[in-house]
Amino acid sequence: MPVHAQEQSASAKPCTAQDRACVTQNLIAATEQIENVNWRDQSYREIAKTLASDGQFSDAIGIWDKIENPDTKALTIRGIGMAAADRELAQADYDALFKTLRAKSETIEHPPSYAIALTYIAMAQAFAGDDDGAWNTAASMENDALRHKAYGETAEIQAEQGNVEAAMKSIGFIESTAYRNKSYALVSKILADQQLFDEALRAAVPLTNAYKKAKALQYILDQQTISAAKAE
């Protein structure tokens, strides 16, 4: 056996597949030996998501600190936040986690990646049902286009959850007519796909772009036809 293979084997702890903590430790040890920075960062990203899915948020944040690429840092924040949203934590726990993720985002020196990280935090907050937190995060973004995008992404998540009032409120924060029309159209489609036709119409009516409005209304009618055919 080559010397380097012996060294790697020696560093690996014997595990059963059911011992996730042990397997994860070996995964971290293997990742530390990856020489290509991008590949190493990608592996760390997936490890952080796994740890967060297992409820080990402090450990997930510790892995985040090892990542060098700012875009991967932003994507990892999304992964941690979304994994936390899936766990239905107490609001106090969400507040603490999102506060930590926001603090970590503030250390990202690459402006586009920083803005994307904030967008991902807002999306995760919306997914977790923390609408006020999502709106506050989006409002704090200085770049107009990215702020509008954050509100739009938040509205889409809220619509997917059937939270129509929150989705409409999110769109209402968008100052750009073009972005607002885009969000109304997307939210209308999401609601129509859920057969929430009255709610879809509510999102379509405020559209000021005639073409987008016509498409949204036609989509509602088409989905109603499909729904009726399936019911027969």
**Residue 106 above 50 pLDDT?**
yes
pLDDT value for 7: 47
Task: Provide mean pLDDT across the span 10-36.
Answer: 88
d(C-alpha 64, C-alpha 215), whole Å: 43
pLDDT 10s digits, 49-100? 999 999 999 999 999 999 999 999 999 999 999 999 888 888 899 999 999 9
* Position 1 pLDDT exceeds 90: no
Give first-to-last CA distance, the chain, whole Å: 68
DSSP string of 113-168, one letter each residue: HHHHHHHHHHHHHHHTT-HHHHHHHHHT---HHHHHHHHHHHHHHHHHTT-HHHHH
Stretch 2-8: mean pLDDT:
44
Cβ neighbours, 10 Å, residue 114: 20
Concatenated DSSP letters for 83-109?
A: HHHTT---HHHHHHHHHHHHHHHTT--
- The pTM of the full predicted model, rounded to 2 decimals, is 0.82
Query: Considering the chain, what is the average pLDDT of its residues?
Result: 92
Across 175-188, b (16+ Cβ under 10 Å) vs e yields: ebeebbbbbbbbbb
pLDDT tens digits, 198-215: 999 999 999 999 999 999
Name the token pair of 51: 């740890």
What pLDDT is attached to residue 3?
41
The tokens of 72 are what?
Answer: 């991967």
Report residue 14's pLDDT band, with 50, 70 and 90 as the boundaries.
confident
pLDDT tens-place string over residues 167-176? 999 999 999 9
Smallest Cα–Cα separation from 42: which of 60, 22, 69, 78?
Answer: 69
Question: How far apart, in Å, are the Cα atoms of 32 and each of 27, 44, 47, 231?
Answer: 9, 9, 12, 56
Each domain of the chain, given as residue ranges in start order, spans 18-175, 177-232
* pLDDT value at residue 2: 43
**Predicted pLDDT of residue 68:** 96
